[in-house]
């Protein structure tokens, strides 16, 4: 079903596709009523068949539309359009009209490599500012990740898709489908992975994951499947970012590890608290984190919500007029609590480990497999088994060997309709460049030209030349115009500034003069008569002023001959 050119709600004209996600496509569009450019998000029909999902999606979009903040991508409108799919069936197509933002996604920026600490702090400050505003408005994002963070051309941070993830997680969609829709579990909080109720602190955990990835170039947990990653979020401790990138300071290590605490009561409680520690770390100081009290650690009660028994204990400790009747809780209560916590943890780990997300996918959709590292022929075979046609596109890549797959569009793990064409990006190896013509350039200039093209100066061989000045390039190997990979070595042939003088004694004066003045020598013969000996026919040269061998260019050579 081609949506380009469609008019939604009688006013929004759908334009070219500018982005694809696990659950929706994003088009540039035009609001014909107001004459402004907008972004139009269209949900994929196979994920919008649940009426409860559509209702919650609309409610959450309306909630997000009420938020107006410079760090949040505005939602202007939302609704549903009745359309006819490729099978001729009428379906409801949910859509969202959003602010159009020019810039780059944070995930694309991270793909180029880790960010400098100052840049990462600036981006995370913007994200936390947006979350502080949304949390005060009672909206939890639930899907903070680099793919939902835009950096505008002016450097402004914009967070997208507020409320959308809540619609997904609150609907009757299965856990497996939700995992597929979000595309990756790399940014799940432990409570999301365990299927528990989430709150604002879930967004702060995901923000910690994003900060880790900005500083290191990769998320803290990686695995072959989303389930394996979710299991690590629940049970494994992340490494310090400085272990992956030694440039990360101890102060930022401390901030990231505190944000990634498994227990939500032990991590940052508000976006403002998180941002304050980030700014402290950026100034070179290690933030001090208050340890949670023992009651919170044992019973998991959120900070600020004390039970009546805890209030009584606090009052007993502070009021000197009251008398204790029992020094501590009965031991059986403590051991019962500890055993209960252990049982819950084991049960959650068993549940997470045995999740089977792909088993719940609808029959009319497929998940794009990971094809990186395969040859194109192998990738075609894998896609054909899934009923997905493949189209090759060649790209240069400094790390992936020629002939191997770099990636795909749609990307791996994305859910697509049956028959969706998949673009397979195949590496042609390192970028090819043409060796420039460096003849008659100085050696210093020639080396600078090679470096600018990503080539390396190699061996320097000096040769005689009657005309080219010393230290000037005569030629290269490979020759000028040859195509080579970036990083290849280019050898030089360089003028020595000399020519090789032969031995011309015994030759006639005329022949020796002609030989020295030839094109390949260009030396000047100076006849010198010798009256001490009898002249001979042809005036043979008896002596030359310069010995045979290398002599400076354009030298004068005295040729002595008998003239008595």
pLDDT of residue 549: 92
Q: Is 41 annotated as a binding residue?
A: yes
Rounded to whole angstroms, what are the CA distances from 410 to 24, 369, 420, 421? 12, 10, 9, 9
Stronger pLDDT, 226 or 60, i.e. the higher one:
226
Considering the four listed CATH numbers 3.40.50.300, 3.50.7.10, 3.30.70.2860, 3.30.10.20, the one that applies to the domain covering 432-496 is 3.30.10.20
Q: How far apart are CA 266 and CA 260, in angstroms?
A: 9
Instruction: Look at the block and give the residue holding tokens 């979020």.
Output: 233
Between 246 and 183, whose confidence is greater? 246
Summarised one tens digit per residue, pLDDT across range 27-56 is: 999 999 988 999 998 877 666 666 666 676
**What is the CB neighbour count within 10 angstroms for residue 332?**
8
Q: Under a CB-based contact definition with an 8 Å cutoff, are residues 536 and 548 in contact?
A: no
Q: What does the alpha-carbon distance between residue 461 and residue 49 come to, in Å, rounded to a whole number?
A: 74
Q: How many whole angstroms separate alpha carbon 325 and alpha carbon 319?
A: 14
Q: Does domain 499-562 have CATH number 3.30.10.20?
A: yes
The pLDDT > 90 percentage for the chain reads: 41
Highest mean pLDDT among 95-104, 202-211, 390-399: 202-211
Q: What is the pLDDT of residue 320?
A: 44
143 counts as catalytic:
yes
pLDDT at 394: 85
Mean pLDDT (whole number) for 351-359: 54
What pLDDT is stored for residue 299 in this prediction?
34
pLDDT tens for each residue of 314-329: 443 444 434 444 444 5
- Tens-place pLDDT, residues 435-466: 999 999 999 999 999 999 889 999 999 999 99
CATH class of 7-99: alpha beta
Computed over every residue of the chain, the mean pLDDT equals 82
Confidence class for position 557, pLDDT limits 50, 70, 90 = very high
- Checking if the pLDDT of 262 tops 80, the result is yes
Q: Report residue 219 as tokens.
A: 């998320």
- pLDDT value for 119: 94
Looking at residue 401, what is its pLDDT?
85
To 10 degrees, what angle do helices 331-353 and 226-235 make?
Answer: 160
The pLDDT assigned to 324 comes to 43
**Of 36-45, 122-131, 325-334, 355-364, the least confident:** 355-364
14-24 pLDDT per residue, tens = 999 888 766 67
Secondary structure class of 198 (helix, strand, coil): coil
Torsion angle in degrees (nearest 10) through CA of 81, 55, 73, 261 = -150
Query: Residue 172: left if φ>0, alpha if ψ -120 to 50, beta else—which one?
Result: alpha
First to last CA, the chain: 108
- Residue 398 is predicted with a pLDDT of 76
CB 205 within 8 A of CB 214: no
CB 188 within 8 A of CB 230: yes
Alpha-helical segments (H) within 35-99? 51-65
- Label residue 295 by pLDDT band (50, 70, 90): very low
pLDDT value for 524:
93
Predicted pLDDT of residue 164: 53
In this prediction, residues 211-229 reach a mean pLDDT of 89
551 CB neighbour count, 10 Å cutoff: 18
pLDDT at 113: 92
The answer, yes or no, to whether residue 87 has pLDDT greater than 80, is: no
For residue 487, what pLDDT is reported?
Answer: 84
pLDDT tier at 354, thresholds 50, 70, 90: low
Q: Of 148, 38, 152, whose CA–CA distance to 103 is shortest? A: 152
Residues paired with residue 158 on neighbouring β-strands, in sequence order: 150
Tell whether the model's pLDDT for residue 296 goes beyond 60. no
Q: Is the pLDDT of residue 404 over 60?
A: yes
> What is the per-residue pLDDT for 338?
81
Q: Which regions of 396-442 does DSSP assign to beta strands (E)?
A: 405-409, 415-417, 422-427, 432-434
**Phi, psi values for residue 538, rounded to 5°:** 80, -5
For domain 103-289, give the fold.
Transferase(Phosphotransferase); domain 1 (1.10.510)
Neighbours of 441 (CB within 10 A): 15
545 vs 206: CA distance, rounded Å: 86
Choosing from 31, 77, 143, 397, the catalytic residue is: 143
* Common-topology check for domains 363-427 and 432-496: yes
List the structure tokens of 500.
């090789």
Domain extents in the chain: 7-99, 103-289, 363-427, 432-496, 499-562
Options 3.10.310.10, 3.40.50.2300, 3.90.1640.10, 3.30.10.20; CATH for 363-427 is 3.30.10.20
- The answer to which of 294-308, 319-333, 495-509 has the lowest mean pLDDT is 294-308
As a whole number, mean pLDDT of residues 416-431 equals 84
CA-atom Rg of the chain in angstroms: 38
| Cβ neighbour number for residue 189 with a 10 Å cutoff | 26
């Amino acid at each position: 079903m081609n949506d380009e050119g469609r008019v939604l709600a009688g006013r929004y004209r759908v334009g070219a596709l500018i982005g694809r996600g696990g659950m929706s496509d994003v088009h540039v569009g035009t609001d014909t009523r107001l004459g402004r450019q907008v972004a139009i998000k269209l949900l994929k029909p196979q994920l919008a068949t649940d009426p409860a999902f559509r209702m919650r999606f609309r409610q959450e979009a309306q909630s997000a539309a009420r938020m107006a903040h410079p760090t949040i991508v505005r939602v202007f409108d939302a609704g549903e359009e009745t359309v006819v799919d490729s099978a001729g069936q009428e379906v409801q197509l949910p859509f969202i009209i959003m602010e159009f933002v020019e810039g780059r996604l944070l995930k694309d920026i991270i793909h180029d490599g880790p960010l400098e600490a100052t840049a990462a702090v600036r981006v995370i400050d913007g994200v936390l500012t947006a979350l502080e505003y949304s949390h005060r408005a009672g909206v939890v994002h639930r899907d903070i990740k680099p793919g939902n963070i835009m950096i505008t051309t002016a450097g402004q941070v914009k967070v997208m898709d507020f409320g959308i993830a809540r619609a997904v997680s609150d609907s009757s969609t299965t856990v497996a489908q939700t995992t597929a829709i979000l595309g990756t579990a790399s940014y799940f909080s432990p409570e999301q992975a365990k299927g528990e109720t989430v709150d604002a602190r879930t967004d702060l955990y995901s923000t910690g994951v994003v900060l880790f990835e900005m500083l290191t170039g990769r998320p803290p947990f990686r695995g072959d499947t989303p389930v394996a990653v979710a299991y690590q979020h629940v049970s494994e401790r992340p490494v310090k970012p400085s272990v992956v990138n030694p440039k990360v300071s101890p102060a930022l290590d401390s901030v990231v590890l505190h944000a990634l605490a498994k227990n939500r009561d032990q991590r940052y409680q508000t976006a403002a608290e998180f941002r304050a520690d980030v700014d402290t770390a950026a100034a070179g100081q290690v933030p001090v984190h208050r340890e949670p009290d023992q009651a919170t650690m044992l019973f998991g009660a959120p900070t600020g919500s004390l039970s009546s028994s805890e209030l009584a204990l606090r009052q007993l400790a502070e009021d000197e007029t009251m008398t204790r009747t029992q020094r501590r809780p009965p031991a059986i209560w403590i051991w019962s609590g500890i055993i209960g916590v252990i049982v819950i943890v084991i049960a959650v780990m068993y549940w997470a480990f045995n999740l089977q997300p792909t088993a719940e996918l609808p029959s009319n959709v497929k998940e794009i497999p990971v094809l990186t590292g395969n040859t194109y022929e192998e990738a075609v075979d894998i896609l054909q088994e899934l009923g997905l046609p493949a189209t090759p596109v060649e790209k240069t890549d400094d790390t992936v060997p020629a002939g191997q797959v770099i990636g795909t569009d749609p990307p791996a793990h994305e859910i697509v309709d049956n028959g969706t064409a998949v673009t397979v990006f195949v590496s042609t190896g390192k970028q090819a460049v043409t060796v420039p013509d460096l003849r008659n350039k100085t050696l210093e200039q020639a080396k600078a030209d090679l470096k600018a093209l990503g080539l390396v100066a190699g061996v320097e061989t000096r040769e005689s030349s009657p005309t080219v000045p010393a230290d000037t390039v005569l030629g290269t190997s490979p020759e000028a115009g040859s195509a080579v990979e970036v990083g290849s070595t280019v050898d030089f042939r360089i003028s020595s500034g000399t020519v090789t003088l032969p031995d011309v004694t015994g030759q006639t004066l005329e022949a020796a003069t002609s030989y020295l003045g030839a094109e390949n020598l260009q030396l000047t013969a100076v006849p010198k008569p010798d009256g001490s000996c009898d002249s001979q026919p042809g005036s043979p040269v008896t002596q030359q002023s310069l010995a045979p061998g290398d002599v400076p260019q354009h030298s004068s050579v005295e040729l002595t001959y008998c003239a008595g």
